[in-house]
Amino acid sequence: MQTLIVEPNIVRPDDFYEALIDMHRDLTDEQSQMANAALILLLANHVGDLGVLREAIAAARTSVKPT
Amino acid sequence: MTTDYQKVEFPYVRSQDQDAREPVDHPVVVVGAGPIGLTAAIDLAQQGVPVVVLDDDNKLSSGSRAICFAKRTLEIWDRLGCGERMVQKGVSWNVGKVYFRDELVYSFNLLPESGYRRPAFINLQQYYCEGYLCEHAQALANLELRWKSKVVGVEGQGDGVALRVETPEGPYRLHADYVIACDGARSPIRGMIGQESIGRSFRDRFLIADVKMQAGFPPERWFWFDPPFHRNQSVLLHRQPDDVWRIDFQLGADADPEEEKKPERVIPRIQALLGRDAQFEIEWVSVYTFSCSRMDKFRQGRILFAGDAAHCVSPFGARGANSGVQDAENLAWKLKLVLARKAPDALLDTYDDERGYAANENIQCSTRATDFITPKNNVSRMFRDATLKLSKDHAFARRLVNSGRLSLPATLHDSPLNTPDCDTFSGEMAPGAPAADGPVMVRGDAGWFLAQIGGDFNGVYFSDGTLSGDIHRSFASLSRGAIPLTAIVVAPKGISLPESPGGTTVVEDSEGLLRQRYDARAGTFYLMRPDQHVCARWRRFDVDATRAALARATCTG
């Protein structure tokens, strides 16, 4: 069974982070939110495994509202 | 002369039971002559169980109401001998299109492969469906329809149910061994016994407008999210017979239902869709809300609840009437065996197990569709719109778009009546699955597999082109059992087996599709229930295993 990878896994993390912030360049807040939603959906499909996705969803929620 | 099914009125006729000193006993009383009650009554009557149907009204459905009848429903009506007329009159369709704002984002085909007798859906006004079922029912000697007969009292007793019925000529009493309550979403019977249907109500209001017009749209289901002609809401278009088109407008939670029904409100909405110059007449208008709910148990002693009386769904997905028709057929064969004392009363508990499972699936599908169509907050709207935008270019997102997961029959995976597989199979035809159709040759004529099975238990034997004397003798012995099993032999494509002397039907798998759909090899044997569901299967036929599975499927083990 796959589990959510939380150890470093991105080869060039600074490049990724820059690209992520760049995605939002010149976007209104609403457009940014829409782009974030699209990005989540694209990445979720790439991951595919529902167990991993549920783990990521739980970790994201906990980061905002600890249980 | 053609019948105007919207105007038909059935006469109230005094029944002999009203003059009896003591309440007359009937094996089965069905309450409600809608599509579910009529299907249940016809199925029972044709299986030899006398039925009385009570209905508080004397007309067919007012307005087109349920219009989408699914392939499985048509297959059930085919088994009862009422399917062909529905399909002849109905508008067959397989394709759906989804629009977001001003563009088509994708289309889907619900029945991409051929080799099925029936289409994914037909659209047919509910009054035609009920009218055809009524005419079929009226021709059955052991089925009695009693109009203007309103059940006002019901009391479960040890050995049956006491009913109090009101008629234009006053009340009378009846006794039934079993009652099937198909009296709709607000089921008075349910209320009388202190039961409830519990679930979630949705606040959004919807407008249905049936309009008559000459239009060139194809027979497809069109769904718009947030279209320019009805901003921030959804719209659904369906074609019905007689040049009638169903248009369903989402109105939001604050709409005033009385105001929204007025022509001066409805006409501009339709013109916004069709254009200002469009010529149309309004046939029927209704404003509705809905809930997804169910009773805790569909069996309450000797009262069995079916259709909307037992469970309610949103209209997205056409899972209301279609699931109710499946309830009816699930119940009919079980009641027949219990009434004939060939199976114990416990078999009726499995009606709740199986149809409760199906109801949960339908409620889940229909709740999810409703949440997608009517997002409840900004973030859910954002994800929905992002999904719709992505769906134009990315196939994965089309699988997430939910304009209604259109009715498919449940595979009853967890049913206690199934015998779990001990051999390896792939494909859809697992124990609990509704049997797949396929083209066959029968006695030299082209026909359909599903027309050969159902009503009784069937054994379906996939032959290599031969049939041994041993197997033949086993089939003959199974056909003489207390609960008879009728064997069907499927010969491979290109081979026609002679009709066997014992009368076992032989069909040729004329396009090889049955072998594919059932993942069958020479020797594979399927046990099918009277409602055309798989309940066991093996790679080789074994008479003892078959008897054990039959006992399990009837709670007689």
Q: How far is A9 from chain B (nearest CA, A)?
A: 25
Tell me the nearest-neighbour CA distance from A50 into chain B, angstroms: 14
Residue A45 lies in a domain: yes
Q: In Å, how far is B383's CA from the nearest CA of chain A?
A: 6
- Which of B105, B385, B396, B400 to probe the A interface (max A CBs under 10 A)? B396
- % chain B with pLDDT above 90: 91
Domain membership flag for residue B413: no
Chain A residues lying within 8 Å of B400, measured CB to CB:
41
* Domain at B168, CATH number: 3.50.50.60
**CA B295/CA B196 separation, integer angstroms:** 6
Domain count, chain B: 2
Residue B496 in this model has a pLDDT that exceeds 80: no
Strand pairing report for B121-123 and B68-70 = antiparallel
d(CA B438, CA B440) in angstroms, rounded, equals: 7
**Torsion (CA) A44, A45, A48, A50 in degrees, nearest 10:** 50
Whole-number average pLDDT of chain B? 95
Higher pLDDT, B315 or B332: B332
Distance of CA B39 to the CA centre of its chain: 9
Between CA B350 and CA B325 the distance in angstroms is 17
Q: Structure tokens of B43? A: 């199925």
Domain-embedded: residue B466: yes
Q: Are B366 and A14 in contact (CB under 8 A)?
A: no
The answer to whether the CB atoms of A34 and B397 lie below 8 A apart is no
C-alpha–C-alpha distance, residues B237 and B338, integer Å? 44
| pLDDT tens per residue, range B334-370 | 999 999 999 999 999 999 999 999 999 999 999 999 9
What average pLDDT does the segment B274-289 reach? 92
Answer yes or no: is B446 within a domain: yes
Q: Which residue has the higher pLDDT, B158 or A40?
A: A40
Q: Does residue A43 sit within a domain?
A: yes
Scanning B374-409, the segments in alpha helix (DSSP H) are 378-391, 395-398
What is the mean predicted confidence (pLDDT) over B70-92? 97
Best mutation target, A45, A50, A53, A61, to test chain B (most B CBs within 10 A):
A45
For residue B1, what pLDDT is reported? 59
Residue B547 resides in a domain: yes
> Is residue B30 in a domain?
yes
User: Residues B449, B356: one domain?
Assistant: no
Residue B499 in this model has a pLDDT that exceeds 80: no
- Within a domain: A8: no
Beta bridge partners of B221: B96
Q: How far apart are CA B182 and CA B304, in angstroms?
A: 9
Question: What is the separation, in whole angstroms, between the first and last Cα of chain B?
Answer: 54
Q: Would you mind telling me the total number of residues written for chain B in this entry?
A: 557
pLDDT, position B112: 85
Task: Name every chain A residue with its beta carbon within 8 A of the beta carbon of B383.
Answer: 37, 40-41
CATH of the domain at B537: 3.40.30.10
Give B180's strand partners: B30, B304
Q: Is residue A54 part of a domain?
A: yes
What is the pLDDT at residue B501? 60
Using CA atoms, how far apart are residues B418 and B95, in angstroms rounded to an integer? 34
Q: Of B338, B365, B392, which marks where a domain is finished?
A: B365
Query: What is the value of ipTM here, to two decimals?
Result: 0.96
Q: Is A5 within a domain?
A: no
Chain A contacts to B (CB-CB under 8 A):
33-34, 37-38, 40-42, 45
Which of B386, B394, B396 faces A37 most closely, judged by CB atoms? Answer: B386
pLDDT of A49: 97
Q: Give the model confidence (pLDDT) of B371-418 as tens digits.
A: 999 999 999 999 999 999 999 999 999 999 999 999 899 999 999 999
Q: What is the pLDDT of residue B443?
A: 86
CB contact under 8 A, A34 and B385: yes
Identify all chain A residues contacting B394, using CB atoms and an 8 Å cutoff.
42, 45
Find the mean pLDDT for residues B153-168.
94
Which chain B residues are closer than 8 Å to A38 by Cβ? 386, 389-390
Let me know whether B328 and B468 are in one domain.
no
User: pTM for this structure?
Assistant: 0.96
* Domain-located, residue B22: yes
Chain A contact probe: residue of B383, B399, B402 with most A CBs at under 10 A: B383
Q: List strand residue ranges (DSSP E) for B94-167, in order.
A: 95-100, 103-109, 121-123, 143-146, 150-157, 160-167
Looking at the domain assignment, is residue B397 inside a domain?
A: no
Mean pLDDT of B268-278: 91
CB contact under 8 A, B382 and A45: no
Question: Residue A60: inside a domain, yes or no?
Answer: yes
**B372-379 long-range contacts, CB within 8 A, separation 24+:** B372/B401, B372/B402, B372/B403, B373/B225, B373/B234, B373/B250, B373/B316, B373/B402, B373/B403, B373/B404, B374/B202, B374/B204, B374/B234, B374/B250
Do B382 and A42 count as a contact with CB atoms less than 8 A apart? no
Residue after which a domain boundary falls, among B310, B337, B365: B365
Q: Indicate whether B177 pLDDT > 80.
A: yes
Our count of domains for chain A comes to 1
Greatest extent of chain B over all pairs of C-alpha atoms, in Å: 76
Does B141 fall in a domain? yes
Distance CA B223, CA B407 (A): 16
The pLDDT of residue A22 is above 80? yes
Question: What three-state secondary structure class fits B441?
Answer: strand
Cβ proximity of B541 and B477 under 8 Å: no
Q: What angle do CA B2, B6, B7 make, to 5 degrees?
A: 80
For residues B149 and B31, what is the distance between their CA atoms, to the nearest angstrom?
9
Query: Which pLDDT tens digit goes with each residue over B441-495?
Result: 998 899 999 999 999 999 999 999 888 889 989 999 999 999 999 999 999 998 8
Residue A37 to residue B400, Cβ atoms within 8 A: no
Cα dist from B235 to B224, B238, B259, B282, B374, whole Å:
5, 10, 19, 17, 12
| pLDDT reported for residue B266 | 95
Q: What domain range includes position B528?
A: 439-553
Is residue B137 a contact partner of residue B37, using CB atoms and an 8 Å limit? no
* Residues spanned by the domain of A35: 13-64
d(CA B34, CA B28): 16
Question: What pLDDT shows up at residue B75?
Answer: 98
User: CA B321, CA B65: separation in Å to the nearest integer?
Assistant: 10
Q: How far is B424 from chain A (nearest CA, A)?
A: 23
- B254: which residues sit within 8 A by CB, 6+ positions away? none
The full 3-state SS of chain A, as one line of letters, equals CCCCCCCCCCCCHHHHHHHHHHHCCCCCHHHHHHHHHHHHHHHHHHHCCHHHHHHHHHHHHHHHCCC
Q: Which residues pair with B106 in a beta bridge?
A: B98
Q: Which amino acid is at B508?
A: E
* Subunit contact B397:A41, Cβ cutoff 8 A: yes
Closest listed residue to residue B458, CA positions, set B491, B435, B425, B430: B435
Measure B385 CA to nearest chain A CA, in Å: 8
Say how far apart CA B253 and CA B121 lie, in whole Å: 30
Q: Which residue of A has its CA nearest to B393?
A: A42
Same domain, B191 and B329: yes
Same domain, B546 and B463: yes
- Answer with the one of B343, B365, B387 that is the final residue of a domain: B365
Same structural domain, B444 and B346? no
